[in-house]
Amino acid sequence: MSAVIEADNTEQALSNALDSATGLAPAERFVVKNQLRLRLAAVQMQQGHFDKARDMLRQIDTESPAALQASLLMAESYRLTAQPTEARKWFLRTAKHYPYRPMTLNGLISAAHDEQPRNPALSAALYHEVSAQSHFALAQLDAFENNGDLDPMAIIFPSSLDDAVRKTLLRRSLHHPGHNLLAETGQLKSSVTAILALRERHAAVDQELNQLGIKLANYQRQRDSLEKQLIAGDQELQALKAQMIPRDFGAEQTRIRQGITLRRNQQTRLRAQLAFIEQAQQALPDIARKLEQQLQALHHSAQKQLGSSHSAVTEVLEDTLKQYRVELSNLAAEAQLQRSELMLSSP
């Protein structure tokens, strides 16, 4: 009697909580209300209120995290009320909508065990489904791993891997205890973006270095020309000086002196230009060296970030693959064994 009262109290408490959840934020409300409906349906089934439980289960959103358990619970409600046709329909529907998931396959295995004594046909059908799905998923994993290096992108994004198997792997990876796959994947994406940006920067730096090389060549040509002009100017200056007559201020001597002043000014300007070009020639290699060092630093940083995030994501996926393979292998072996025993015991 106390158990019944306690169940009634639990049902009332869950109903009250369900009503109260209406005030939650939309995203939180979606998760909480569906989980509460699932728990409420389970309590109603414990009390033998299967019709009420089914009505409650039908209210659970098919996209919610509780949807798989709700579907299994719906199938179980028909099995417990001796409706094998409906039970089989719901179990196989669950297997179709949520394939290759250990939770789905374990639910089918459990129901198949319970049905062996009274409904061997349903039991055999469920064992067959578990065996078929387990072997298919294992074959997908074999093909995926035989391709060589594990590519995280082939699991994170659609690839040659069967999409339902891929999503199951990804879903399990997201709950890895040692790493936050979402964060690591974000870092991996950032790393790839950094590498792409580095490639663009590399092209820009190559162009800048090429422009610096052109400038250096131009400067060298200008320097050669200036040096020739200076030599010729110095020679002309010496020739003009040789024509000077001390204390002669006639028109011709005045013209010579003006020519000397003009040539000296020109030589001063040419030497200033030459000094600027020589300074630029000395500075440009240092600019080029700094650009190359900047590029090397960016490359090192991007490669380090990519290596770290890629390694973390790969570690998560390798662990998930290993665990998933073990579970599938155990499920396939269990289904095959039980089905064989069932066939041997059949009259």
pLDDT of residue 300: 66
Which of the pair, 181 or 311, is modelled with greater confidence? 311
Task: Name the more confident of 130 and 267.
Answer: 130
Q: What CATH topology corresponds to 1-98?
A: 1.25.40
Structural domain boundaries of the chain?
Answer: 1-98, 181-315
**Stated pTM of the model:** 0.59
Q: Is the pLDDT of residue 1 over 80?
A: no
Asked whether the predicted pLDDT for residue 31 surpasses 90, the reply is: no
Mean pLDDT for the stretch of residues 202-221: 72
At 179 the pLDDT is: 54
- Whether the pLDDT of residue 120 is over 80: the answer is yes
Among candidates 113, 67, 65, which has minimal Cα distance to 337? 113
CA distance 213 to 281: 10
Convert the pLDDT of each residue in 50-97 to its tens digit. 999 999 999 999 888 899 999 999 999 999 999 999 999 999 999 999
DSSP state letters, 132-192: HHHHHHHHHHHHHHTTSS--THHHHS--SS-HHHHHHHHHHHTT-SS--HHHHHHHHHHHH
Under 8 Å between Cβ of 155 and 169: yes
Least confident of 88-102, 143-157, 236-250: 143-157
The percentage of the chain sitting over the pLDDT mark of 90, rounded to a whole number, equals 32
How far apart are the C-alpha atoms of 250 and 317, rounded to whole Å?
99
pLDDT value at position 248? 74
- Say if residues 98 and 288 touch (Cβ distance below 8 Å): no
Least confident range from 88-97, 154-163, 335-344: namely 154-163
Distance CA(98)–CA(62), nearest Å, equals: 11
Residue 83's pLDDT is what? 92
Residue 319: CB atoms within 10 A of its CB come to 16
Reading phi first (left if > 0) and then psi (alpha if -120 to 50, else beta), residue 48 is in left
- Flag the least confident range among 53-62, 174-183, 225-234, 262-271: 174-183
Mean pLDDT value across residues 190-219? 66
Ranges 198-207, 256-265, 303-312, most confident: 256-265
Q: What is the pLDDT of residue 262?
A: 83
Q: What does CATH list as the number for 181-315?
A: 1.10.287
pLDDT tens-place string over residues 169-203: 888 877 766 655 555 555 555 655 555 565 566 66
Instruction: For the chain, give the mean pLDDT.
Output: 81
